[in-house]
Structure formats: C-alpha cells, structure tokens
Amino acid sequence: MSIEKEIKELAARYRDYTAENLSEIVKIPSLSGQEGPVIEKLKEQAQEAGFDEVWIDGLGNLIGRVGNGPRKLAIDAHIDVVDTGDLSQWKYPPFSGLIKDGMVHGRGSVDQKGGAASMITAGRILKELGYDGKFTVYFTFTIMEEDCDGMCWLYMIEKEKFVPDFVVLTEPTNLGVYRGHRGRMEIEIHFKGKSAHASAPERGDNAILKAAKAALGIAELHKRLRVDEFLGKGSVAPTIIESRSPSQCAIPDFCMLYLDRRLTWGETKETAIAEVREVVGEEPEIIVPIYRRESYKGTVFEQEKYFPTWKFPEDHPLVRSGAEAYERLFGEKARIGKWTFSTNGVAIAGRHGIPAIGFGPGNEIYAHAPNEATPIDHLEKASAFYAMLPYVLEEKIKGW
C-alpha cells in the first residue's frame, strides 16, 4: 500500500477523534495571556497520541516531537483566541465546542484550534506509521499570537535557539497552500499644541486639528501606496485618535493618531515611516510602539510592533512539496494563495527568513467572526496533509 493511501486511511479512521479533540480545546477559553489550561489539555492530548517528547518552553509555548531526523520541520498553531463580541450574534454558545452538521462550532475552531487538533492527529499517524525519516517533526502550539503575531516564535528562535529548516503554519487557508502575506506595523503620531480657554481658541494651538489634518493626508497617502502582483496593495488607515486637554473647556495640547499600516512586498518599517513623515512634517513625533505583556507563565518578551512582509516563489521546494503532498493525497491540484491577514510567519519568514507555507482547515472569512465553525472534512484532510509532508519533502530536497 502506498504511503499516501495509508495516511488517508488513518486520517479517516481518526476523523471523529480529531473532531472530539478540537471540541475539547474549544470548550476552554484561551484569550492571549490566559492560555495555561488549554496548553495543559493539548499536552495531555499529545502525550496520549504517543508523541516522542512533549514540553513547555520558558514563555509557555507547547512543543511536541515525533521522529529523530537530522532536519527540523515545525508545524505551528497558535492556540489563543480573540474574545466573543456580541453574544446575541452567536447561534450556539461560543465555547460550546458543539459537534453538529459535520462541523465543530465555537470560538477558535477556525482561528486556529482546528489546525492544532489536526496536528495532534498527524503526530499520532506518524507514530503509528513508525516514521523514522530525515526530519524531526515538531508540533508547536504557540501563545499570544492574537495579541502580538510572531512574538512567540521570536522567543523560540532568539531565546530558546529553536530554528527549524521549514515551517507549516496551520492558520485557516480553506485547504489551500499559501506562500506569503503582507506584513504590518503600528504607528503612533504625537502632535503637540498649546492650551488656551476654548472660548478663545485663537489663543491656543489645537493639537486635534493638527491630527485631523494629518488624518486626511494619510487617507491620500493610502491611495498611492505600492502594489505587488501577488500580495496586493499596501494600506494605511487611522484607527485611534486620543487627545489630552486641561479640561473640556480648553484647547487640547496633545493628540495621538494611531495608524494601522499593512506592508506589501518592498515596503519596510523605514519606508513606511518616511512616507508618514512626508505627510505630517518634521514637528510631530513618530513612534513604533513596543509590545510588553506577561505570558501566563509570568515571562515578558518584548518586541517592536513591526511585522515584516514575507513570500516565497511558487517553485520554492517547500511550496512545491506542499502542492505535491496535496495532489498525491486528494487527486487534484492544490490552490496556491496568500492570507489577507498576518500570521506567525512575520517572525519565522519575515524576520528570520525560514521557509514557510500555510495549510489549514477552515475558511479565514470566519476568523474573528460570530458563529465560527470548521468542517470535520477539513480536519481530516489537514491531519493527512501534515503527516504526508515530511515524506514528500524527503523526496523533493535532494542531497540531504
């Protein structure tokens, strides 16, 4: 029997197992910084699946190992989720983990605990097949991505010195093979004014008016940003404005304008700041904020809120291996694409240049939305894909 047929049969046999594991972890709320209980549940699932080794790193990421080859393949899922929003918009309770109508329902089922559940099954499949190839396969269940994408991986790479050769991101792709996405950064612009009584505004220098004028300039800047054939157009948008004044009857002497900047190929932190400076002039202070927050383990690992763009060509060995794994398993060509949003790839590929692709169950349109649900069919196919990939990589990467 061919390896792809064996893997497909095992993925089908464990279809309900995968769905039930996902249901269990969806039932555990895990906002960024509060992931401890779901990490413990996933650790239990990985151990029960027979992983060779399972441990929690200094930040709080869970890492499981299968195999002992000289090369490292990491398959990643962040397991924190966003909040629920307006509960009246949910058909079923968001943390029900309900299995119904061929779907697993609940917050995080798409973004992205579905990937995590499929990874557990993939590890079990590899163990049952007795995988002893050229890869050590690491399954990483990472934290705080929703709060600061990539920070968990910066910690693993820079503090734990964990540097894989290849990475698969299991963010939702609707079972497409993704090869990149735009980067992003956050920018604060600080405008200073002069306070005066609001009954005589001409005596002061209104910081809100300065920020408002700049916001209109930013809207014009957006229109002329760079376009990449694959990743699309860069974007910039004011998202927060905050002012400070001695009273509501006084001219504000400070105003902060917050920008969300999406970076296409060829755009960097430096080019983005230069463009904003051209709009606002030399006077305002422009700041890229620093992320600082304790993990559930009490560890702080700070980083600048700059998340670089990344992409790999369609003929890259990892992209080709992903496409071939899909075709051999499912008998059709893989859809090659990109995410609209940002992932842990900003650290893995964007900052550190480690080759990465995406393949995940669920449709990204349901990420962060009410009535989030993932098809069990997707979970089964994703678990087969993750188990198949190391076999295909060994064939594609010659001379190892």
Catalytic: which of 145, 146, 186, 372?
A: 145
**Distance from C-alpha of 245 to C-alpha of 349, rounded to nearest angstrom:** 43
Across the chain, mean pLDDT equals 97
Task: Please tell me the total number of residues recorded for the chain in this structure.
Answer: 400
**Distance from C-alpha of 267 to C-alpha of 228, rounded to nearest angstrom:** 10
**Structure token digits, residue 233:** 């157009």
Placement of tokens 């910066």 in the chain: 154
Contacts of 89 (CB under 8 A, 6+ apart): 370, 371
CB 12 within 8 A of CB 381: no
CATH code: domain 184-291 is 3.30.70.360
**Distance from C-alpha of 185 to C-alpha of 363, rounded to nearest angstrom:** 25
**Structure token digits, residue 360:** 């995940």
CATH code 3.30.70.360 region(s) in the chain: 184-291
Is 145 annotated as catalytic?
A: yes
**Distance from C-alpha of 52 to C-alpha of 272, rounded to nearest angstrom:** 45
DSSP string, 1-31: --HHHHHHHHHHHTHHHHHHHHHHHHTS--B
Task: Give 145-167 pLDDT, tens digit per residue.
Answer: 999 999 999 999 999 999 999 99
**Distance from C-alpha of 88 to C-alpha of 83, rounded to nearest angstrom:** 14
**Upper half-sphere CA count for residue 385 (Cβ side, 13 Å):** 30
Catalytic: which of 4, 35, 80, 372?
A: 80
pLDDT at position 398? 67
Task: Give 289-348 pLDDT, tens digit per residue.
Answer: 999 999 999 999 999 999 999 999 999 999 999 999 999 999 999 999 999 999 999 999
Task: Give 248-258 pLDDT, tens digit per residue.
Answer: 999 999 999 99
CATH code 3.40.630.10 region(s) in the chain: 3-182+309-396
**Distance from C-alpha of 255 to C-alpha of 272, rounded to nearest angstrom:** 21
User: Which H or E element spans position 118?
Assistant: helix 114-129
How many of the other CB atoms lie within 10 Å of CB of 352?
19
**Distance from C-alpha of 391 to C-alpha of 199, rounded to nearest angstrom:** 75
pLDDT at position 1? 82
Choosing among 1.10.1380.10, 3.20.20.70, 3.40.630.10, 3.40.50.720, the CATH entry for 3-182+309-396 is: 3.40.630.10
Is 80 annotated as catalytic?
A: yes
Residue 400 pLDDT greater than 70, yes or no: no
Q: Considering the chain, what percentage of its residues have pLDDT values greater than 90?
A: 98
**Distance from C-alpha of 400 to C-alpha of 390, rounded to nearest angstrom:** 13
